[in-house]
Chains A and B, each alone.
Chain A
Amino acid sequence: MLRFITRRGALSVLIVVLAVSLLFGMIHMLPGDPASVILGPRATPALRAELNERMGLDRPFIVQLGRFLGNVATGDLGEDPFSRRKVADIVLEQLPFTLTLVFAAIAGATLLGVPLGCYSAIRRGSWLDRLAALLSVAFIAVPSFVVALYALMFFSVQLRWFPAIGAGDSGDLADQARHLVLPAIALGLGWIGYIARLVRASMLEVLEENHVRTARAFGLPERVIIGRYALRIAILPTVTILGLGIGTMLSGALFAEIVFSRPGIGKLLYESVMTRNYPVVMGSVLVTTVFFVACTLASDIVNALLDPRLRESEGR
C-alpha cells in the first residue's frame, strides 16, 4: 500500500510540475508585457527596463521557469503588484471558502446520491427509480449557474429562507452554514443525480456477480449484502469520477461564488482576470491545479483501500 501511495504521489508531483510549467508558458506568451501593466502606459523605457531586470523578465524563458518553479516549491507565489501583498497569502485567505463550498456540495451529493442509487438498483423500475432517472437527467442538464440564479430568486428573494449573498459572519458557524446552503445546492444538485445513476449502474452489475449469489446462499441479510459486499465494489467508479469531478466543481464554484457574491478562489480568479493581475491569476490557478491533482490522488488511494486487487497490480 505504501508503495502504491509513493508511486501515485510521485506521479502527482510530476503532473503538477508539468501543469505549472504549461501555465507559466501560457502566461508568458500572452500579448502585452507585465512591466507596462504594472507601471502603466506612461512609464519610461528606462523604468520598464529596470522593472524587467528586477523581476528577472529579461532572462531567458527557461531560467525564468526554473526560478518560478523553485519559488513555488518554497511556497513563494510572488507578489500582487497592486496591493504589494504576497500572492500566497491572498490565495490561502480565499481557499477555505471555496474548499468548504466544494466539499459541502460533494458531501451532500454523495450522501443523497449513493443511497438513491442503491435504492434504484434494488427496486429497479419502481416509481422512485423512474422519478430519480428523470430528475437526474434534468438536473445534470441544467448548468449550475442557472440553478444558482433560480435558487437565489426562489429561496432568498421570495421565501427569504436563506441569505442571498456573502459567506456569513466569521466566527458565527450557524450563519456561515446558512450562507453555505444555496451555493452548495447550486453546485451539487446535478451531482446527486449523476452519482445516483453511476451507483445504480455499477450496483446492478455487481448484484449479478457470483459472489453476491454466494452471500445470499449463506443467508446474509440483504442490507449486509448491499451495504458491505456489493457497494464496496459498486462504489469504485464513483470514487474515481468524484476525484475528477472536483475539478469541474471548481469551475462551477466560480459561478456560484459570483452569483452569491461569496468570497473564494473563483471570485478571486474572476476579479484578478478582470484587472489583469497576472501574479494572482497564476497563484489561484496554481493552487487550484494542486488541489485538483490532490483530489484525483486521494480518489486513487481510496479506491486502492477499497479494492485490494488495485493495490496488487500497481505494487509490483
Chain B
Amino acid sequence: MSDLPDTNVLEVDNLSVSYSTEGGELKALRDVSLDVPRGDIVGIVGESGCGKSTLISAIIGLLAPNARPASGAIRFRGEDLLGVNDDKMRALRGDEIAMVFQDPMTSLNPVLTIGRQMRDIQYRLPDSKAEKNARSIRMLQRVGIPDPESRLHDHPHQLSGGMKQRVAIAMALMMKPALLIADEPTTALDATLEVQIIHQLKRLQEDIGCSILFISHHLGVIAELCDRVAVMYAGEVVESGTVREIFHAPEHPYTRMLLACDPGAISERTRVLPIIRGFLPDLVDLPRGCVFRDRCDSAIEACSDKPPLQVRGADRLVACHRAGETP
C-alpha cells in the first residue's frame, strides 16, 4: 500500500506554493498531496493554470524567483526536498530525477551538437569522452533513433520534432533516474508519433524500472500509459485514484466534465463541442468554499464550505461534498 514510505519514490504532502505578484499573493498550489509508488506511472490531468507546472518546478527545486518558500513536504525516497540545499538538489536533478519537457523544438540547446549535450549531462561520471559517447549511442538506439552514431554530430535543428523528443527522452533516461517527470511530452507532436513515443516510454520505464510522473491534458494518453491519476483544478488535487476508477466512475464533477469534454470520448456527430462553462477562479483572491463551485452544475448549499478530501474505496480520494451520491 502507498502508505508505507519505502514503496513510494515520491510523496508530495500538503504542498502549498504561492508567488508574490503585483496583484498580491497568488496561491498557485494549495495542500496538494500526491504519491508516486515505485515503478508506477502516475498521471496528472488538468487544464492550463491548474498548477501542474508549479508542482513540477517545486519537485525539481526550480521554482521561479518570485515564489515564496513552499510549505508542506516533498519527500523523494524519504528525504524532504524542501529542506535540502541547492547543491544537493542539483546533484539529484538529472541523476535521480530527470525531466522531459513539452516542446522538443526549444528544449534542446540550438548551438551545441546532440553528442555534446548528451556528454555534458554525464558530467558526474569519470568516464572518457569515448565511453560517454558510446553510452549516448546506446541510449539513442534504445529510443529508436536510426543511425545514432552520426546523430551525435547533428545539431537539434537538423532533427524532426519527433526525433528531438526521442533525444530528450534518451537524455532523461540515460542516467537511469528513479523518477522521470514528463511534462506534456507528446503535446507538440502529431497523433501517430504520440502513440509511438508513449509505447516507447512505457517500454523504457519497464526496462529501467523507474517511476514516471506524467503530466498531460490528453486523457487518452493518460488512460493508455498510467497506473494512477490525479486530477488537478486551480491548484488543488480534486480527485485521485487508479486510472480505472477515475475513468470509469469519476466522482468529482470536474473530473466528470473533463471526461465529457474529451474529444476522443465524443461518439456522436455534433456541431457544438461540450465545454465547462465559466473560468478558473482568481488565485490571488480565492472564493470561499469549494474552488469548483462557480462552475459546478451540482453545487449545493454545503459547497460554500471547503470540501475535505474524502477517502473513497481502496485509495481513492475525492474533494467533493456530494461524492458518493449517484449523479
Is A218's CB under 8 angstroms from B112's CB? no
Is A218's CB under 8 angstroms from B107's CB? no
Interface string of B79-111 (1 = CB under 8 A from A): 000000000001111110011010100111111
Interface string of A299-316 (1 = CB under 8 A from B): 000000011110010000
Contacts of A10 in B (CB 8 A): none
A173 within 8 A of B: no
Contacts of A220 in B (CB 8 A): 94, 120-121, 123
Is A232's CB under 8 angstroms from B101's CB? no
Question: Which of A91-99, A195-203, A205-213 lies at the interface?
Answer: A205-213
Contacts of A233 in B (CB 8 A): 110-111
Interface string of A273-316 (1 = CB under 8 A from B): 00000000000000000000000000000000011110010000
A221 within 8 A of B: yes
What total of chain A residues lie within 8 Å of the partner, measured CB to CB? 22
A68 within 8 A of B: no
Is B93's CB under 8 angstroms from A216's CB? yes
Is B157's CB under 8 angstroms from A213's CB? no
Main secondary structure of the interface of B (DSSP, over half): loop
| One of B91, B108, B155 near A219 (C-beta < 8 A) | B91
With contacts A215-B109, A307-B110 taken as known, whether A221 is within 8 angstroms of B157 at the C-beta atoms is no
A13 within 8 A of B: no
Residues A86-122 near B (CB distance < 8 A): none
Min C-beta distance of B177 to chain A, whole Å: 10
A217 within 8 A of B: yes
Contacts of A217 in B (CB 8 A): 60, 62, 93-94, 98-99, 101
Instruction: Determine the residue in chain A with the shortest Cβ distance to B171.
Output: A218
A24 within 8 A of B: no
Is A210's CB under 8 angstroms from B107's CB? yes
Min C-beta distance of B216 to chain A, whole Å: 18
A270 within 8 A of B: no
Is A307's CB under 8 angstroms from B111's CB? yes
Contacts of B155 in A (CB 8 A): 308-309
Q: How far is the CA of A275 from the CA of B126 in the complex (A)?
A: 69
Instruction: Determine the residue in chain B with the shortest Cβ distance to A210.
Output: B106
Contacts of B158 in A (CB 8 A): 312
Is A213's CB under 8 angstroms from B94's CB? no
Is A219's CB under 8 angstroms from B94's CB? yes
Instruction: Determine the residue in chain B with the shortest Cβ distance to A236.
Output: B111
A126 within 8 A of B: no
Counted as pairs of residues, one from A and one from B, with CB atoms less than 8 Å apart, the total is 73
Contacts of B98 in A (CB 8 A): 217-218
Is B90's CB under 8 angstroms from A210's CB? no
Q: How far is the CA of A308 from the CA of B92 in the complex (A)?
A: 32
Instruction: Determine the residue in chain B with the shortest Cβ distance to A216.
Output: B62
A261 within 8 A of B: no
Is B157's CB under 8 angstroms from A312's CB? yes
A139 within 8 A of B: no
Is A218's CB under 8 angstroms from B94's CB? yes
* Residue of A209, A211, A224 ringed by the most chain B CB atoms within 10 A: A211
Is A211's CB under 8 angstroms from B93's CB? no
Is B107's CB under 8 angstroms from A219's CB? no
Min C-beta distance of B103 to chain A, whole Å: 6
With contacts A217-B93, A218-B93 taken as known, whether A229 is within 8 angstroms of B171 at the C-beta atoms is no
Is B92's CB under 8 angstroms from A219's CB? yes
Interface string of B56-94 (1 = CB under 8 A from A): 000010100000000000000000000000000011111
Min C-beta distance of B94 to chain A, whole Å: 4
Q: How far is the CA of A209 from the CA of B101 in the complex (A)?
A: 12
Instruction: Determine the residue in chain B with the shortest Cβ distance to A232.
Output: B111
Residues B284-321 near A (CB distance < 8 A): none
Q: How far is the CA of A209 from the CA of B108 in the complex (A)?
A: 10
Q: How far is the CA of A221 from the CA of B95 in the complex (A)?
A: 13
A44 within 8 A of B: no
A214 within 8 A of B: yes
Q: How far is the CA of A309 from the CA of B62 in the complex (A)?
A: 29
A54 within 8 A of B: no
Min C-beta distance of B154 to chain A, whole Å: 9
Contacts of A209 in B (CB 8 A): 106
Is A210's CB under 8 angstroms from B111's CB? no
Instruction: Determine the residue in chain A with the shortest Cβ distance to B86.
Output: A222
Min C-beta distance of B299 to chain A, whole Å: 39
Is B110's CB under 8 angstroms from A214's CB? no
A42 within 8 A of B: no
Contacts of A309 in B (CB 8 A): 110-111, 155, 157
Given contact pairs A213-B62, A214-B168, a sample of 7 additional A-B residue pairs in the complex whose CB atoms are under 8 Å apart: A211-B106, A214-B109, A219-B93, A228-B112, A307-B110, A308-B155, A309-B155
Residues of A at the B interface (CB closer than 8 Å) are 209-211, 213-221, 224, 228-229, 232-233, 306-309, 312
